[in-house]
Amino acid sequence: MTPPISFEAGGPASRTLVNQRFRKSGHAFFRKGGLAVLLMSVTALGGCAHNFIPPDINYDNVEPATLTVDPPAPVKIVELPKPLPLPGQLKPLPSGKPSPEVADPHVRVDQANAAARIQPVRAGFINAVQVYPFSGGALYQVYTAPGEITDVALQEGEQLVGSGPVAAGDTVRWIIGDTESGAGATKKIHILVKPTRADLVTNLIINTDRRTYLLELRSTEKTYMASVSWQYPEDQLIALRRQNQEAQAAAPIAAGVDLAAINFRYAIQGDNPAWRPLRAFDDGSKVYIEFPSGIRQGEMPPLFVIGPAGGSELVNYRVSRNYYIVDRLFGAAELRLGDKDSERRVRIVRTDGRPRS
C-alpha cells in the first residue's frame, strides 16, 4: 500500500528526507510529478519575464476639451509667370497632319523672337514704372526717346558679374551707363539707357549673379518709359516656403496645452536604440513622447499600450515633428522595432503608480 505523501508537511528537513526516500525507492509518480512541477515553474518564470504588469494609476481630473483655432500660416498667393509659347514647345499636338516647318531659318528665328517678346501692358504699370514678371528667355520691350533717360532697375541685392556684364548691340548711337541706389541688402543697380535719335532698335543683355536679362530697346520721337523693373515670383515662392518652414519649426507641438498641468511622471526603461525617447510627459489627458530631433532619418517604432494583465495592444497616436501624441493616459507602454531576432524594446512606465495586488 502506498503511503500518503505531503511535500508541504513538516520542516525543510522532513521534506528533504521524504524526497531522498522516494528517489531511492524509484517511484514513478515522483519522477513524473517532479517533471511536471519543473515545467510549470519554467512556464511561470517565462510568462513573468515576457508579460510586464503595469502599475495601478489614479485617474486625474480632466478639464473638458475646448476647440482652439490654429494660427494662420504665413501663406500668400503669388502669381506665376506663364511660360512663353515658344515654337514647338508647350503646345498641344495638332490633331491632323502636322504642317511642314518653314525651310528658311531666318523665318524660324523671327517667329521665335516674335513669340518671346513681352510688351508693356497697362495693368503692369505702377505709376510710371512698368513691372514685368520675370521669365527666363523672354525678350522685354523697352521704349525710349531722345533726350530722355530710361531706368532699368534690377532686384535688390543683385550684382553685375563678369568682365562685360552689360552689353548692347549698338553702343555708338545709344548711351548706356549704370548707377546704384540704397546700401547693404537694399542696394539696387540701375542701368540707364538713352538713344541719340529716334527710330533706333538694338538689344541689351544684362548678366547678374542671379539671372540674365534680355531686352530690346526701341527709340521713338516722344514716347518713352521712365522706368522698367521686374517681379520675381519664383524667388517669392522660395522665400514663402522658407518662412512657412520657420513658422512650423517655431510652432508648438500641440495647441491648448496648459503648462501648469504638465506632469513629468514617466520613466524610460529597456534597450538603448538610436530612437530611444528622450522623455515623456502628459497634460492630464494626452501623453507626449519626445524622440531625438533626427528620428525621421530612420524608422519610427510602433507604440503598444500594456494592459492590466500584461497583454499589449496597438494604440492610436499621431506624429508631430519628433513627438508622439497619444490621446489617452496609460500606466505602461512599449515601443518595439525589429524582428524576433533583432527586436529592440523601450518601455515607458508611470512612476507614480502602485504595484498591482
Mind listing the pLDDT tens digit for each residue in 140-158?
999 999 999 999 999 999 9
Share of the chain above pLDDT 70, in %: 73
Amino acid identity at 170: D
DSSP structure class, residue 9: S
* Mean pLDDT of the 256-263 span: 80
> What are the CA-CA distances from residue 316 to residues 59, 96, 201, 313 (Å)?
20, 58, 70, 10
Q: How far is CA 285 from CA 258, 324, 351, in A?
A: 11, 14, 17
User: For 97-106, what is the mean pLDDT?
Assistant: 83
CA 142 from chain center: how many Å? 42
Does residue 122 surpass a pLDDT of 90?
Answer: yes
Exposed, middle or buried by CB within 10 Å (0-12, 13-18, 19+), for 59? exposed
Least confident span in 53-57, 134-138, 167-171, 250-254:
250-254
- Give the percent of the chain with pLDDT over 90: 52
Q: Is 163 a residue whose pLDDT tops 60?
A: yes
Residue 16 phi, psi (nearest 5): -65, -40
Averaged pLDDT, 264-277 = 94
pLDDT grade for 85, boundaries at 50, 70 and 90:
low
Angle at 175 (CA atoms; ends 172, 179), nearest 5 degrees: 145
pLDDT top residue among 208 and 254: 208
CA distances 261 to 229, 282, 317, 327, Å, are 56, 8, 20, 15
Name the band, by pLDDT with cuts 50, 70 and 90, for residue 35: very low
Provide the CA 199 distance to its chain's centre, in angstroms: 55
Q: Is 289 a residue whose pLDDT tops 70?
A: yes
- Tell me, what's the pLDDT at 187? 95
pLDDT at residue 184 tops 60: yes
pLDDT score for 37: 43
Which pTM does this prediction carry? 0.52
310, burial (CB in 10 Å: exposed 0-12, middle 13-18, buried 19+):
middle
Between 36 and 128, where is the model more confident? 128
